[in-house]
Structure formats: structure tokens, C-alpha cells
Amino acid sequence: MKLQTKIPLIPKEHQIDYQSKTVMLGSCFVENMAEKMEYYKFHTLQNPFGIIFHPIAIEKLITRAVNNDLFTSDDLFYFNEQWHCFEVHSSISTSEKEDLLDILNNKLKAFRDYLLSASHIILTFGTAWVYQYRDTNTIVANCHKVPQNKFIKEILSVEEITKSTKNIISIIKGINLKVNIILTISPVRHLKDGFVENTRSKAHLISAIYDITIGKRSMNGVEEFPSYEIMMDELRDYRFYKEDLIHPNKTAITIIWDAFSKVWISEETKEIQKEIAVIQAGLLHQPFNPESKAHRSFLSDLEIKIEKLQTRYPEINF
């Protein structure tokens, strides 16, 4: 008896290994996958400007980084005793204007350097709904709890998403021709927009990604990974959700990670991942008696395992 539909997955060329450099940008689901990448010590830069939900916001940041267009005071605003920037997440806010400018521009330079040398860029789109700031007629990445009457809420059309995503790809390929770009849709449902509105939003994203990866306007070096489809079709049960019934739980994240690994993580890394998992478990171990002879011996053995692994792979750092 079949109790589950399975999406067929085929390993791709140019997979991720321990020489790869991966940039992960987009919705909060990025953090779930990046946590797995970082746990297994792959070289990863994830959301340097915080969670970004839609392609236009990602396009703005990538364009700014590639053009080396530094942030200035004109890009900041003061609200609720903090300085903010509409182009980045609210987690990057400070009480001093100059501090925020320094943080943003240092992140921008590091981001540009990583884009130049990245082997893989994973873009995860969360929603097609966007907010346009009335005073400037610009679409923002985050509203920073500014009153909603200051914004116009609208949904991006399939054409607008396709155009923005193709711009992102062209800009990146302009400075890094060999990079592999992976597009995926976050399985997190944005039910605050409404049930029908969330479905319409995801449908627009799905259609745009289809156009770019498979359709008539497909681009070379761009692939799709079905994060959203795995959650909706394989894991269609609330036991795979957190208590909010919106976000995937640890089990779901592990299943999607395993699927991603099958498609995009090199088979040659599997044994190294096992070694790293043993070391990570050792580093997380909480002893009953930290001063005991047994625990000191355990730490010594753990140090030897780390040294042996780093001798073979100096780029891996604990």
C-alpha cells in the first residue's frame, strides 16, 4: 500500500562539495537549510541582510552589491528610537545612524566578494505580496513596523517576478559566469495574507520559476529545487508542522534537507559529513562531571578527531 506520493529527484551536475562556496538568500526557510549546511561545515553565506521575502528586494541588494553602491544616510530613516533601512530586515537596526551605515556597508562589501567567487547561489522566494512605501513609491524589503497606512500592498504578477528574477540572474552571471543558480519556493505559508491570497502568491512564484527554468524563457545554469512541492505533496500532514501549523517542523526540514542532499550535495562528501556529525555531537555533549578523568579523555579523543579531519580538509573549521 502506498501511503505517500514521492516527487522524483535526480542528482544534478556541478554539485556542492567542500570546495564549493554557497550563497543562500531569501525567506525564513533559508535559515533552516543554511543551518544544515553550516552544521556539516559547508562554506555558506546566508542572508547577510536578514530574511528577505520577495525577488524585488533580493534584486535590489544584489544590484547594489555588484555595482558597489554603498548605503548612505539617504537610505536610512529613524523610527521608534532606532535607525532602519527599508532594503534590509528589521534585525539590522541600530540606535546610532553611523553604526548602521558601517554595518550595512561592511556587509555589502563582504557580500560582493562572496558573489564574485560563489559556486552556487540558492534563492528562496517566500511570497509575491509586496509593500510599496507611499512617500517614495518604492517596494520595501521590510516595513519595520511603520504604520500600514504608509504602504500600498500589492501582489507581483508572474511577469514582474520573472523579470526581476531574470535581472538577478543576469547581474550575477555578469560578474560570475560559472556560478550555478538554484531557485526554490519556501514551504512556509503566509496565512496572514489570507488563505486564498497565499495560494495565489505561491502560484505566481511557481509560474515564474517554471518560465525561467523550464519554459520558453529558460536560462542556462539555472535549476529549480521543489522545496514547496515536497512539503505540499509528500508531507501533506500537520504532524510535519510546528505548533503554529505554518512552519515546517524539524522532521520536515530534515526530510527536505535529505532530498536536497540527494540532488545537490556531492556523494563524495557523505563520509566526511558522518565524521563531522560525530564531532558535532561530541561538541554538544553535556558531561555530568566536567572534571572527571573519563570526560578529559573524551575531550582529548574529540580533539584528535578534529585535528585529523582538518589535516585532510584545512578549510573545515570548528
For the segment 262-274, the average pLDDT, to the nearest whole number, is 96
Share of residues in the chain with pLDDT > 70 (%): 99
Per-residue model confidence as pLDDT tens digits over 143-162: 999 999 999 999 999 999 99
Q: Does an H or E element contain 267, and which?
A: none
Residue 218 pLDDT > 80, yes or no? no
Give the predicted TM-score (pTM) of the model.
0.93
Please list the residues that pair with 94 across neighbouring strands.
83
Q: Is 217 a residue whose pLDDT tops 70?
A: no
Distance of CA 178 to the CA centre of its chain: 20
Q: pLDDT band at 216, cuts 50/70/90?
A: low
The predicted pLDDT at position 294 comes to 86
- From 178, 98, 101, 192, select the one nearest 143 (Cα to Cα): 192
What residue type is assigned to position 90 of the chain? S
- Mean pLDDT over all residues of the chain? 94
Backbone angles phi, psi at 17, to 5 degrees: -135, -165
Q: What is the largest CA-CA distance in the chain?
A: 67
Q: Is the pLDDT of residue 214 over 80?
A: yes
The Cα 269–Cα 266 span in angstroms is: 6
Average pLDDT over residues 28-35: 92
